[in-house]
Amino acid sequence: MAFSSESSNQAEWAAKEPVLRAVRLSHFYGQRVGCAGVSLDLWPGEVLGIVGESGSGKSTLLRCLSGWQEPSQGRVQIRREGEVLDLYALEESVRRRLLRTQIGVVFQRAEEGVRMRVSAGGNIGERLMAEGMRHYGRLRESARRWMERVELDPARLDDLPCTYSGGMLQRLQIAKNLVTEPRLLFLDEPTTGLDVSVQARLLDLLRRLVREMNLSVVMVTHDLAVARVLAHRLLVMMGGQVVEEGLMDRVLDDPQHPYTQLLVSSRLVA
């Protein structure tokens, strides 16, 4: 049982480059501030939680980071095989390709991420078809394999998503996004609205996939319990700005900023 067999060395955390970097991101809706001057790094294999009340700017930040909303100011950089790509400086067609091969986004409302009138298999195969897979049998095989991987019954491959429950829809969204094996996953309130037992199993699945695929994840949630289960590191947002940042359990157990303390105490008392 020597440690040496498990290759621990400082290079593991010291020499890594961030997979995602935001530099002074700001986004305004007219006069209203979405997020203001947010800079962050996301490291390989890391789950970064963004917590805050609704209206704190966390969803705006997620949209800017994930390529869905061009920010008013600032840059988003994504590292791919050693090269750094400036997400919003890319030509849109290149960005689209990048988004569907390197990035997955799981929305709170599954209808935003799943085609409700296309079968589960068609949904899962969509990114593969977009990437040029033209073999029906292989598309189906991939879809079936991914259904198993997210613990959906492959017998329901041809069923329409509207026959799926809320928890199943989230699993389908996850499969649909991960089928091209992206390195970055964005989760927007992934378990909100699900009943608690479904939540727990979904979170367990996400944890497993994060580890197995070495995913780097940015997750927005207002639910600190969800953050506790999944996140390695937390950003606390208030009024569009990051007010506290740190190791997940340090932020939750020894919050420093008044707003974080308020957030933590009100959640736990509730």
Partner 1 sequence: MNDNGWMLRLESVSKSFTLHTQGGARLCVLRNLSLAVRQGESVALTGPSGIGKSSILRMIYGNYAVDRGRILVRNRGVVVDVTTASAACVLWLRRWTLGYVSQFLRVIPRVPTRQIVMEPLLERGVDPGRARERAEAVLIRLQIPKRLWDLSPTTFSGGEQQRVNIARVLVGEYPVLLLDEPTASLDPANREIVVEMIGRARERGTALLGVYHDPELRCRVAERTVDVGAFATSANSEDEGVTDGSFHTEALSDKALDPGDGSRSVAGGSAGNARLL
Partner 2 sequence: MSRTPGLTVPNRSTEGGYARGGALKGLPGYNFAFLDEVTKRMIRRTLLKAVAIPGHQIPFASREMPLPYGWGTGGIQITASIIGPDDVLKVIDQGADDTTNAVSIRSFFRKTAGVATTTRTGEATVIQTRHRIPEQPLREDQILVYQVPIPEPLRFIEPREEECGKVHAWADYGIMYVKLYEDVARTGRIATTFDYPVVVNGRYVMSPSPIPKFDTPKMHRMPALQLFGAGREKRIYAVPPYTDVKPLDFEDVPFEIERWSRCCALCGATEHYLDEIVTDDVGGRRFVCSDSDACAQRRAKAARDLSGNS
Q: Determine, following the binding rule CB under 8 A, whether residue 16 of this chain makes contact with partner 1.
A: yes
Q: Determine, following the binding rule CB under 8 A, whether residue 15 of this chain makes contact with partner 1.
A: no
Candidate residues 140, 223, 239, 241; the one interacting with partner 1 per rule CB under 8 A: 223
Closest CA relative to residue 69, chosen from 94, 99, 45, 41: 99
CB of 246 to partner 1, least distance (A): 6
54 vs 134, which CB is nearer to partner 2?
A: 134
Q: Determine, following the binding rule CB under 8 A, whether residue 247 of this chain makes contact with partner 1.
A: yes
**Rounded-to-5 percentages of helix, strand, coil across the chain:** 45, 25, 30
CB of 89 to partner 1, least distance (A): 27
Q: Which of positions 160-199 make contact with partner 1 (CB under 8 A)?
A: 191, 196-197, 199
CA atoms within 13 A on the CB side of 214: 3
Q: How far is CA 182 from CA 103, 107, 109, 176, in A?
A: 5, 16, 21, 11
CB of 150 to partner 2, least distance (A): 19
- The residue to which tokens 């937390």 are assigned: 234
- The distance between the two most distant Cα atoms of the chain, rounded to a whole number of Å, is 60
Interface residues with partner 2 (CB under 8 A)?
Answer: 92-93, 96, 115, 118-119, 121-122, 125-127, 129-132, 134-137, 139-140, 157-158
51 vs 114, which CB is nearer to partner 1?
A: 51
Contact partner at residue 232 from partner 2, partner 1, none, CB < 5 to 8 Å by partner kind = partner 1
Candidate residues 50, 226, 236, 238; the one interacting with partner 1 per rule CB under 8 A: 226
CB of 48 to partner 2, least distance (A): 30
Closest CA relative to residue 164, chosen from 185, 208, 194, 126: 194
Closest CA relative to residue 185, chosen from 161, 208, 201, 160: 208
Where would I find the beta strands (DSSP E) of 151-240?
A: 184-188, 216-221, 233-238
